[in-house]
Structures are given as structure tokens and as C-alpha cells.
Copies of this chain bind each other. A is one copy, B any other.
């Protein structure tokens, strides 16, 4: 069984004084320190990053990390847009299945705030279809279309979306690594400016810098001797068309459905055994779709459960985005999928402090690339 034995994340935010690889270095040092491991004890590195080439002219990050760590081990850089971190974790999980008695480092990082809005918007749009780019559709535009159909189809209003952000900001207010560490009200979301109707500024995750790292191992002795360990019960990928127009349904993500069915099967868990979910809330609507596609919420009931705040700490049965999600914790895209795994690790080992969910034994992380072209679902348990 592969286990997560350590986690470290930098603060997420506008970290102008730090470069992409300053952040990577900080996450490496932090996670090694937390596990009392040396760089020489790591057998391979998996690095999730989306925009290092386009924004920072830095590809071949494997060699950059080899230089930072002073080692010559295998290093893989994977890119799956906003699912880059989850994909790196999933690959590491597969790698360990093939390689006994190994310990690997999974890193995710993104540096986004040093460039202008036009550059970051173009960079992010690289994860959309050519015809969508040509039509001028940005990601808020794509998710705005999904939200319009969802609200109309099931008879909800913008308040049903806004409630997701209120919950996530409450959770984020309890997380000292969060980019936006402040509670907000439903009224403030509703009063915020439209980005792409019906989505507003406060329905949307921001642009952040940050890096996160987890160490995973299948070395039984190391697991036994670790202060904390959480089992990786499964990690699976689903893919779909990059183009929204080519999908059968606009209010469902098939990639999430496929990945979660496979992950649940691999884990041998029922949904009701999962107490916490880190869902990909790039926009408020995305968290509602996620909970429906993952099968936790009945199709079309997401808007209702959102407004009831059923997934807020203290309520239940399933608590979503305890760290604040992409919305409040911030969304340095490559880091997000690794941070999700880290948040589950903290919760499942009772290290989550003010935002700790009680008596939680298993959790699910859900990381999406683009408008649903890729989804990675991982399940962890103690």
C-alpha cells in the first residue's frame, strides 16, 4: 500500500518577492523537514506545473529541481492544466505500484501574479479548445455558460451558487496558508461585479502563487516509523473532449464521473464512508457539478444543498473544501492538486487545527483540467 507520510505548502498568495523555483525549493525543504528525510532518500520526483514555460520561460523543470536537490534521480514534469498537481500525484501512485520500497516526492507549483492580466488570461486559455480561443471564450465564459444552463434547468438562482463561496471563504478564514483569509457574506458575493454572467468576482477563484509537496512511499519500515501516515486507497484519471460543445451534457463532467467510479471501485469504499472532499471549485458552479458528478449529491440537488450549507464544517454528512478550496485558499494551478492531497493528509491525521473535521477516516480529492477535459480523483484513508 502506498502512503502519504508528509506534506508542506507555502503560503498561497501574491508572493512577488519569490520566483517559481524559490517556491518549489521552499516546498521541498518544508516537506523533507516534516518527514526528517534527506534529499538522498528520495527515489523520484513528480512535478506538476502548467505555465512555467509560457510565463517564466522555464521548461525542463526536472533538471531545475535536480539542481536544487543536488541529486540525479528520475524526475518527471507533467502538465494537465489546472489538474497538473493531481496528475503528478496519480503518476507517482502508479510509479510506486511498479517499484517496491521506494519513496517519492510529488510537487506542484505555479507563479502567476508577476505578469499582466492579458498574459495570464491567454496562458490559462491554452487549456481550452482552439475554436473556443478563437471565439474569445475565456474560462469564466465557459463556466458561465455551464452555470446559466444549470440554473435554468433546475430552477435555481445566483444565490445557490454564491453559497459555495460563502462556505469556502469561511473555511479559508481558518487556514493560515490561504490566499484570501476572510469570511464573506452571501450579500457581498451577490453585490460583486459580474465576470461572465451569472458568475461574479466572488464566484471565481483568483490568481495566486504557491507550491506544495507531499512525500509518498511504499517502504513499510518508513511507513511504520513515520509520525503520520495516510493510505492512498486509489487514484484514477478520466478524460473527455477539450471542447465543451462536443460533450453530450453541458451540466455534467464525464471525466469526473469516470475517474470517480474507477477510484471508488479501486478503494472498495462506499461514498457514505467518505467524510471530506477536496473538490475543484475554480468557480462556484464547478463545486456543485463536482458534488453531483462524484455522486455525493443527487443530480440537480446541488444548488439546494449548497444554499443549505450542508458541506460546511459542523454540518454534513460530507464536508467540502476544508482548506477554503480554490476560491479562498487560492489557485496556483500546478500546486492545487497537491495541496488537495495535503489537506486530506492534515485532516486524516488530526493536524488541521481550527478547521479540523471530527472523526474523519477517509477523504476524496478531485482535480479538474480545463473545462473538464481531464479529471483526477484520489481517495485517501486511515
Q: List A residues at the B interface (Cβ < 8 Å).
A: 50-51, 53-54, 57-60, 62-64, 66-67, 71-81, 87, 90-91, 94-95, 97-99, 122-123, 125-130, 133, 236-243, 246, 254-255, 258, 369-370, 373-374
Measured between beta carbons, the chain B residues less than 8 angstroms from A81 are 59-60
Are B91 and A62 neighbours in the complex by a CB distance under 8 Å? Answer: no
Q: Assess the A62–B374 pair: CB atoms within 8 A.
A: yes
**Complex contacts, A94 vs chain B, CB 8 Å:** 94-95, 98-99
Point out which of A73, A87, A99, A373 has the most chain B C-beta atoms below 10 A from its C-beta: A373
Q: Are B59 and A374 in contact (CB under 8 A)?
A: no
Nearest CB in chain B: distance from A56 CB, A = 8
Point out the residue from B57, B78, B239 that lies within 8 Å of A63, measured CB to CB: B239
Q: Contacts of A54 on B, CB cut-off 8 Å?
A: 53-54
User: Do residues A239 and B369 form an inter-chain contact, with CB atoms below 8 A?
Assistant: no
Which of B50, B63, B77, B127 meets A242, CB within 8 Å? B63
Q: Smallest Cβ distance from A264 to chain B, in angstroms?
A: 16
> Which of B72, B128, B238 interacts with A239 by CB under 8 Å?
B72
Question: Can you list 26 A-B contacts with CB-CB less than 8 angstroms, sorted by A residue number?
Answer: A51-B53, A53-B123, A60-B242, A60-B373, A60-B374, A62-B239, A63-B242, A63-B374, A64-B129, A64-B242, A66-B239, A66-B242, A66-B373, A66-B374, A67-B241, A67-B243, A72-B239, A72-B240, A73-B239, A76-B78, A79-B79, A91-B91, A94-B99, A97-B97, A97-B99, A98-B98
Report the Cα distance A308→B80, complex, angstroms: 47
Give the one of A59, A62, A236 with max B CB within 10 A: A59
Q: Is the CB of A74 within 8 A of B370?
A: no
Closest 3 CB pairs of A and B: A63-B373, A97-B98, A63-B242
Contact B59 A127 (CB under 8 A): yes
Task: Tell me whether A240 and B76 are in contact (CB under 8 A).
Answer: no
Q: A20 → chain B, closest Cβ, in Å?
A: 10
Closest B residue, CB atoms, query A51? B53
CB neighbours (8 Å) of A125 from chain B are 57
A246–B91 Cα distance when bound, in Å, is: 30
Q: Which B residues are CB-close (under 8 A) to A59?
A: 50, 79, 81, 126-127
